[in-house]
Amino acid sequence: MSAPGPFNSNAAAFFGGVKSAWTSVFFLVLAGTYIGMGALAHDYGFSSWWLALSSMLVWAAPGQVILISSLGLGAPPIEGAIAVGLSAIRLFPMVVALLPLLRGPSTRLRDLLLPAHFTSVSMWVESLRLLPGMPRERRIAFCNGLSVGYMSTAVTFGFVGYYLAGRLPPLFAGTLLFLTPLSFLISTARNARAMVDRLALVLGLILGPLLTYWHVGLDLMWTGVVGGSLAYGVHRLREAAR
Amino acid sequence: MNSALAELWPYLLLILVGYLPNEMWRMLGLVLARGLNEDSEIVVWSRAVATAIIAGVIAKLILFAAGALAGIPLGVRVGAAICGFLAFLAVKRSVFVGVLVGEAVLLLGGYLFAH
């Protein structure tokens, strides 16, 4: 697919972005993810509006899953906050990589606030693919439209999952709830191309439940720091051995 | 706790536990937007940490299930996740096929081995 456009105005670029979002493969991915998220929020005792607000403010599916599951299971808030913070470090290099594409000679910092907040995997992948073929002065508007398209999809299907979870028979509601861990497991495995990421995935799968079972405080933080650092250490040793 | 505070409490937690720890990295990226290579060591390490955390959450959601999922036996939940993963590996690394197979196994197993 070539880059959409040309757009005569920022409004046209914005709606072009919304359209791009609703017709991209991420539409289906987000719909499935957020149906599962809705079921999760329902079964862990949150309201549907709380979920909608979390989708708009947090706007990172892994962070939201950690938030809902840790608070829902009654973990101390500080544990949840540390785990969410550690899971979100990846957003930092993503924003850093995105901004040079958006920034022009007359761009003000406040124009970049929204695109920075909107930065998430779906928006980032599509922006890096589509923005280079577009005039610089329309890119921020397009990027915001793209993000609004994705975010509205997430919020809408979050409500759908939430209401389905409350009305389906238990077996089907359980299936809906299973969507989150299952799709996260498989998509994380697909994204883990390097050996270090695959090892981190396996170590996390083992350490997470083990530390919980042993009642280790801050279990998610230790899962991440120990599992991730071990995987990184093995990666460094292998690099050095080459 | 009075009722107004009790109602606002989940939203306060949403800001403090969800929004701020997540958003600070985006804002840091905005402020310190100097070039950072995808392959730089700190990025590799932070990706590994994030991957391990997500994996930990996934395993906990499956093993220590709550809500409607807790009604489906543990063996069925684990078996369904393994089948879904194997299907993903077998069929062109398709996430869609993996999720579909995993869900089908869970549904079937849940139906056959209901508590």
| Residue A36 vs residue B44, higher pLDDT | A36
| pLDDT for position A192 | 87
The backbone region for A212, taken as left when phi is positive above 0, alpha when psi lies in -120 to 50, beta otherwise, is alpha
| pLDDT for position B35 | 56
> pTM of the entire structure?
0.86
CA–CA dist A6, B52 (Å, integer): 42
Residue with token string 């920022």: A10
Class of residue A207 by CB neighbours under 10 A (exposed 0-12, middle 13-18, buried 19+): buried
Cross-chain residue pair A177–B85, CB shorter than 8 Å:
no
**Using an 8 Å Cβ cutoff, are A223 and B53 in contact?**
yes
| pLDDT for position B4 | 82
| pLDDT for position A233 | 96
Residues of B in contact with A50 (CB under 8 A): 10-11, 14
CA–CA dist B12, B6 (Å, integer): 10
Does the CB of B85 have a partner CB in chain A at under 8 Å? yes
Does the CB of B67 have a partner CB in chain A at under 8 Å? yes
From B14, B43, B44, residue closest to A54, measured CB to CB: B14
Residues of B in contact with A202 (CB under 8 A): 55
Query: What type of residue sits at position A20?
Result: S
Does the CB of B69 have a partner CB in chain A at under 8 Å? yes
Cross-chain residue pair A119–B29, CB shorter than 8 Å:
yes
Which SS3 state, helix, strand or coil, does residue B93 take? coil
From B18, B51, B84, residue closest to A204, measured CB to CB: B51
A121-149 mean pLDDT: 92
**Using an 8 Å Cβ cutoff, are A150 and A123 in contact?**
yes
| pLDDT for position A21 | 95
**Using an 8 Å Cβ cutoff, are B22 and A88 in contact?**
yes
Query: pLDDT band for position A106 (50/70/90)?
Result: confident
Residue with token string 């196994």: B105
| CB half-sphere exposure, B76, CA atoms < 13 A | 23
Nearest to B54 by CA among A188, A123, A67, A226: A188
Residues 6 or more apart whose Cβ sits within 8 Å of residue A160:
A34, A35, A38
Q: For chain B, list residues with pLDDT below 50.
A: none
Provide the shortest C-alpha distance from residue A48 to chain B (in Å). 12
CA–CA dist A200, A219 (Å, integer): 15
From B10, B56, B67, residue closest to A208, measured CB to CB: B56
* Token couple for A69: 């599951």
- Percent of chain A scoring above 70 in pLDDT: 99
Cross-chain residue pair B30–A32, CB shorter than 8 Å:
no
A84-108 mean pLDDT: 87
**Using an 8 Å Cβ cutoff, are A30 and A159 in contact?**
no
Question: Does residue A182 have a pLDDT over 80?
Answer: yes
ipTM: 0.90
